[in-house]
Amino acid sequence: MTTVFVSHPQSKLAHYFGDRASAALQAIAQVRFNPTDKDLSSAELAELAQGCDAIVSYRQTVGDEALFAALPDLKAFVRCAIDIRNIDVASASRHGVLVTQASAGFIASVSEWIVGVMIDLARHISASTALYHASQPVVPAMGRELRGSTLGVIGYGQISRYLCDVALALGMRIVVHDPHASVERAGIEQVALDALLAQSDFVVCLAPATEATENLMNAAAFAAMQPQAFFINASRGNLVDEDALIAALDAGTIAGCALDVGRAPDQMPSPRVAEHPRVIATPHIGGLTPPAVEHQALETVAQLGEIFQGRVPKGAINAPEAWRWQKAFG
């Protein structure tokens, strides 16, 4: 029977993989779980996963040259999410190891988080709550309706499309910027980034993290926004120049910000940004709902089932180069 190593730290297993996926995986393979409550280094993982046919990768698990070289029996490195930046795919290919990724199971959950923080920012909910909790005087603040406001979405992928449908139902005007997509949805206008920043009451960042989008939201971008506008990042911290964001908040260049991601470890918001009084920050929970987690975890198990049957699974990244897998299961 094939052997699979699940690299999730013990305290993360229930939240980010779940009992149903664990049981389903144990039905098709012998399973070893990370016996520790920490993110494993490449060397630690290599020691624990000796003899395993596949690794189910937590988001902090590094798949590098040293790991693939140290595990001659490894045929597949299966990422239980979309983001595969923790994996050196070129090294995996050189060693014949198949790499896969899961599809988005968090489209609705992340979209709902965005709507929630838009309402929070526009109606001063967290700010008022914090004052009440501190036994401070609270002055009623004039709010803003989402209806009639302009939503600017940077990136037009699966989450953006779902979010735009929700925003249209709420009566928002929508502008989108994505140089790699064509927007044909009625009621949505595709514009240049500068135009989006200048028009939007809410600027939502949903572009992928690539070299081209590194620090996309910089000092010039924040200066182009309206002073009453809010910035929301539900993508990755790499897209934001944090010094520029803090400067814009301090200067009142923008009205406020909400973050579910940042440059801190495990894709968390950076503490120096999260503690700013004009920031609403959450610890990377946009996709942390049972349906979202189970979608990706169960899909990962299904991928392994396909792999062990010698079939190229949905989500395969480098199947033609995966000669170890082809030799063992092909």
CB of 301 closer than 8 Å to CB of 24: yes
In the chain, pLDDT over 70 holds for what percent of residues? 100
Give me the pLDDT at residue 266, please.
82
CB of 100 closer than 8 Å to CB of 317: yes
| Secondary structure E strands in the chain | 3-6, 30-33, 54-57, 76-79, 98-101, 150-154, 173-177, 188-190, 202-205, 230-233, 256-259, 279-281
Give me the pLDDT at residue 153, please.
98
Mean pLDDT value of segment 307-326: 94
Name residue 232's beta-bridge partners: 204, 258
Q: Name the pLDDT band for 149 (thresholds 50, 70, 90).
A: very high
CB of 147 closer than 8 Å to CB of 172: yes
Name residue 288's beta-bridge partners: none
Amino acid code (one letter) for 122: A
What mean pLDDT is reported for the chain?
Answer: 95
Q: Name the pLDDT band for 307 (thresholds 50, 70, 90).
A: very high
Q: What is the DSSP letter of 85?
A: T
Phi, psi of 144 (to 5 degrees): -140, 135
Ordered DSSP codes for 137-193 = ---------STTPEEEEE--SHHHHHHHHHHHHTT-EEEEE-TT-----TTEEE--H
35 class by beta-carbon count within 10 Å (0-12 exposed, 13-18 middle, 19+ buried): exposed
Domains of the chain: 3-105+289-329 (3.40.50.720), 107-281 (3.40.50.720)
Higher pLDDT, 301 or 1: 301
Which pairing describes strands 188-190 and 173-177: parallel, antiparallel, or unpaired?
parallel
Nearest residue to 174 via CA among 163, 162, 195, 188? 188
CB of 36 closer than 8 Å to CB of 52: no
Q: Compute the distance between CA of residue 275 and CA of residue 154 in angstroms, rounded to an integer.
A: 25
The answer to whether residue 330 scores a pLDDT higher than 80 is no
Q: Compute the distance between CA of residue 149 and CA of residue 152 in angstroms, rounded to an integer.
A: 10
CB of 193 closer than 8 Å to CB of 221: yes
The answer to whether residue 83 scores a pLDDT higher than 90 is no
Mean pLDDT value of segment 131-152: 96
Nearest residue to 197 via CA among 166, 214, 176? 176
Q: Compute the distance between CA of residue 5 and CA of residue 106 in angstroms, rounded to an integer.
A: 24
Give me the pLDDT at residue 267, please.
87
Give me the pLDDT at residue 77, please.
97
The token pair at 63 is 């798949």
Q: Name the pLDDT band for 204 (thresholds 50, 70, 90).
A: very high
Amino acid code (one letter) for 71: L
Three-state secondary-structure class, residue 46: helix
Give me the pLDDT at residue 100, please.
96
Give me the pLDDT at residue 47, please.
96
Q: Compute the distance between CA of residue 263 and CA of residue 250 in angstroms, rounded to an integer.
A: 20
Residue 18 CA, chain-centre distance (Å), reads 18
The answer to whether residue 1 scores a pLDDT higher than 80 is no
Q: Name the pLDDT band for 184 (thresholds 50, 70, 90).
A: confident
| Secondary structure E strands in 112-156 | 150-154
Amino acid code (one letter) for 64: D
The answer to whether residue 220 scores a pLDDT higher than 90 is yes
Quickly tell me which residue has 């198949």 as its tokens. 98
- Span between the terminal Cα atoms of the chain, in Å: 16
Q: Compute the distance between CA of residue 14 and CA of residue 205 in angstroms, rounded to an integer.
A: 29
How far are the Cα atoms of 4, 37, 54 from residue 64, in angstroms, in the given order? 18, 21, 15
Q: What is the pTM of this model?
A: 0.88
